[in-house]
Structure 1
Amino acid sequence: MPLDPYVSDLNSLGLSKAPADTRVVVAMSGGVDSSVVAAMLAEEGYDVVGVTLQLYDHGAALARKGACCAGRDIHDARRVAERMGFPHYVLDYENVFRESVIDEFADSYLAGATPVPCIRCNERVKFRDLLGVARELDADCMATGHYIRRMVGPMGAELHRAADPARDQSYFLFSTTPEQLDYLRFPLGGLGSKAETRALAARFGLPVADKPDSQDICFVPNGNYAAVIEKLRPGAAEPGDIVDREGHVLGRHDGVLRYTVGQRRGLGIGGLDEPLFVVRLDADKRQVVVGPREMLKSRTIALREINWLGDGAFEGEHEVLVRVRSTRQPVPALLRPAEGGAEVTLLSAEEGVAPGQACVFYAPEGTRVLGGGWIARAA
């Protein structure tokens, strides 16, 4: 069965070549997903070249076991390549990753935002620099282990949600450009579940068949954001006040970076008449602003850095579905261009819309991803 049922050209990747004449660079993180992609393509007879990016020093305090793109994971990717009989290369991208992803992550958090570094990694490292490497290797395309689908529509390549909603990674890939989509392939997007992926890994005899999925951000040990930022920006955890919506001081905190919008626990301001939540972070004033739950709700969202994947130019008003957090379901909204980016009006208010997160657009019907932008502010 072809890897992508939506193409009908000579080979399963939609290219007019025999598999043996088609060079594919596979971005290998050392996990089961990208390993299965490489093994599937190698079994089909493609000229597979595996490439792994070392993104940080696994011996440093920032790294943790079980994360991608360092230490053991590079070793695992190499073992898969040896097992399937294709070449594998490791490229040192530690400086690029720090400058393009980690530094912005730290600065955004210190500014009171809630960044999503995985999106920036895909945008600035994997789908920019690594894709360039693939072209230098004379590859016809680059394949990854992401759960998302590339389909060919009347206007060219389109991005669609994965067949398995539980594994869909479209939120993290909204900034993929049309030019990149022409070159990229996502063989796992059509699979029905992660169990199918692991079954394939077992059939190929891959050493990573039972390897656990990575969970947290790769360079954040045990999800401890504050510890990482304090290491990157010494002295950043300056104390300040916890205030209500009128500015009355309710308590003290030991650093804005230790709080996120929507947080309720750990505020240390008990004994009040109603539960309070973090509704805003003011890094300039070093204030954590709290309020009742209804203050978390937003209807209007201002976006910056829009990436439009719909047909034609981004203009006029669009009825769309939007996802404002990776864990949320898409909800109905109106989307229109605005100065500096775009404006989204939600048909029903959403809680916890936070600057620094992404807002991803979907077609009202079907599975197509129409692009997205970065949340600048919400009202």
Structure 2
Amino acid sequence: MPLDQDRPLNSLGFAKAPSETRVVVAMSGGVDSSVVAAELASEGYDVVGVTLQLYDHGAALAKKGACCAGIDIHDARRVAEEMGFPHYVLDYENIFRDAVIDEFADSYLAGATPVPCIRCNERVKFKDLLETARDLDADCMATGHYIQRKMGANGAELHTAGDPRRDQSYFLFSTTPEQLDFLRFPLGHLTSKAETRALAAKHGLPVADKPDSQDICFVPAGNYASVIEKLRPGAGEPGEIVDLEGRVLGRHDGVIHYTIGQRRGLGIGGLDEPLYVVRLDPNTRRVIVGPKEALSTRIVPVREINWLGDAPLMSRPEWQLSVKVRSTRPPREAILRPTGPDTAEVELLTPEEGVSPGQACVFYELDGTRIFGGGWIWRG
């Protein structure tokens, strides 16, 4: 049945009543997605909650501060029961392992510093789960991410969150225009986490005071190396720590224990100046260290670009943008020079330290809030 174009749009952008609008809410069991589901249900939408079980249910049952396992699945179910909408748990363990965990391990073994949360959004939540939402005849899928979707002259645009401290744009740069048409981010405009918790308390949600998740969900206590060694036996093979000239300064217990920019825990004391990890060479099992200035990077090669600009990426020889090369750093002014349909060279106008292969480089509007996509940093 065609929509009545004269009817006002509801809060999700559809010209029909909330009760006639089905929305699948991706529920991790945390306060953010729980508030999204509760708010939409209270507005009268036809809400369906879906939680993904992403890794071993038994092993993760008692783990706090993660998502998509044990106690979190239980919490999501309780919220659905409280608010009176259906809730489903989907077993995505095999998909998650194939699409996220295996690449995470292999990237570390290759000397990169991966960001599995981006791959999870890209390959699981916004791909398989989004297709499941379509199969459920949903009009859209909503999540608890802190990012904004705004309508522009050429369709839906991605913008940074109202609260810069909680902005998650770095982790969502690979959202495609087609996915953006279907997605909604009801919390993106909020200016503090306190507002979210106040909404949870208003609805009497059992997760109102639940702590935020901190670690990567499948990495207990941030111990990457133990996870990788379990997935890839023999990954922790020892090797040499060398300086930029190749002089041996010490030994290490596996390249997987190190990241670009690391200073502490090198085990090579007694030197005149502090040294940092500037490169990892998994082929020779060498950790290369040098002075802080050796970490400085101006030219960043980027591939697998997801471009969200109105004009095609290749339509200009260069773009004046801001970019983030780490999730915790503010955007810095840069020049983006396309080298192919999904590759580019990024010139940082102010050099950055600790730029690492495997991290994302995310593109932002200069002096604005719009996100123009991004790509993956690699060794040129």
Change (3 A) 1:287 1:118: same
CA contact (8 A) 2:296 2:352 kept: yes
- Residue deviations 1:143-170 (CA, integer Å, cap 9, x gap): 0000000000000000000000001000
Aligned mates of 1:63, 1:80 — CA distance in 2? 19
5 Å-filtered alignment, 1:80-229, equals 80-229=79-228
Question: For the residues of structure 2 that align with 1:279 and 1:21, how far apart are their CA atoms?
Answer: 56
238 and 63 in structure 1: CA distance in 2 versus 1, 3 angstrom threshold: farther
Pair 62,325 (structure 1): closer, same or farther in 2 beyond 3 Å: farther
Deviation at 1:365, TM superposition (A): 2.3
The answer to whether the 8 A contact 2:242-2:288 is kept is: yes
Summarize the Cα distance change of 1:200–1:226 in structure 2 as closer, same or farther, 3 Å threshold: same
- C-alpha distance in structure 1 between counterparts of 2:301 and 2:63, whole Å: 35
Identify which of 366, 369, 372 aligns with 2:368: 366
How far apart are the structure 1 equivalents of 2:8 and 2:349? Answer: 42
What are structure 1's unaligned runs of at least 5 residues?
1-7
Contact 2:275 2:289 in 1 (8 A): yes
The residue number in structure 1 matching 2:328 is: 327
Contact 1:146 1:169 in 2 (8 A): yes
The residue identity in structure 2 corresponding to 1:141 is C
Per the TM alignment, residue 189 of structure 1 is displaced from its structure 2 partner at its CA by 0.2
**C-alpha distance in 2 between matches for 1:377 and 1:199:** 45
Using a 3 Å threshold, how does the CA distance of structure 1 residues 307 and 62 change in structure 2: closer, same or farther?
farther
Cα gap change, 1:304 to 1:62, in 2 (>3 Å): farther
Matches within 5 A, 1:292-307: 292-307=291-306
* In 1: Cα distance, 2:60 partner to 2:252 partner: 25
Deviations 1:85-119 (A, max 9, x none): 00000000000000000000000001000000000
Aligned residues of 1:66 and 1:73 also touching (Cα < 8 A)? no
Asked if the contact 1:237–1:255 (Cα under 8 Å) also holds between the matched residues in 2, the reply is yes
- Residue identity opposite 2:74 in structure 1: H
Displacement after TM superposition at 1:64 (Å):
3.3
1:54 and 2:56 are equivalent in the alignment:
no
Distance in 1 (alpha carbons) for counterparts of 2:258 and 2:58: 28
Alpha-carbon RMSD across the aligned residues, in angstroms, is 1.3
Partners of 1:147 and 1:97 in 2: how far apart?
A: 23
> 2:337 — aligned with what?
336
C-alpha contact (below 8 Å) 1:238/1:255 kept by paired residues: yes
Change (3 A) 1:299 1:142: same
Give the Cα separation in 1 of the matches to 2:217 and 2:83: 26
Distance change in 2, residues 1:63/1:283 (3 Å):
farther
Residue matched to 1:284: 283
> Normalization by structure 2: what TM-score?
0.96
Tell me which moved more, 114-123 or 52-61: 52-61
Going from structure 1 to structure 2, the CA distance change for 1:62 and 1:243 (only over 3 Å counts) comes to farther
Q: Is the 8 A contact 1:62 1:220 kept in 2?
A: no
| Cross-structure match for 1:42 | 41
- Gaps (5+ residues) in structure 2? 1-6
Distance change >3 Å, CA 62–CA 238, structure 1 → 2: farther
Alpha-carbon distance in 2 for matches of 1:152, 1:358:
25
Distance 2:62 2:159 in 1: 33
Aligned residue number for residue 5 of structure 1: none
Partner of 1:238: 237
- Whole-angstrom CA distance in 1 between matches of 2:244 and 2:277: 10
Q: Secondary structure at the match of 1:59?
A: helix
- Determine the C-alpha separation between the residues in 2 that align with 1:336 and 1:22: 42
TM-score where L is the length of structure 1: 0.96
Quick check: 2:63–2:71 contact (8 Å CA) kept in 1?
A: no
Q: CA deviation at 1:62?
A: 11
Q: Deviations over 1:165-202 (max 9, x none)?
A: 00100000000000000000000000110000000000
Aligned residues: 371
**2:164 match: secondary structure:** coil
Residue 3 (structure 2) aligns with:
none
By how many angstroms is 1:312 displaced?
A: 1.7
Query: For 2:293 and 2:231, how far apart are their aligned partners in 1?
Result: 35
Q: Partners in 2 of 1:88 and 1:15 — Cα distance?
A: 23
Amino-acid identity (%): 78
Q: Distance in 1 between matches of 2:19 and 2:135?
A: 19
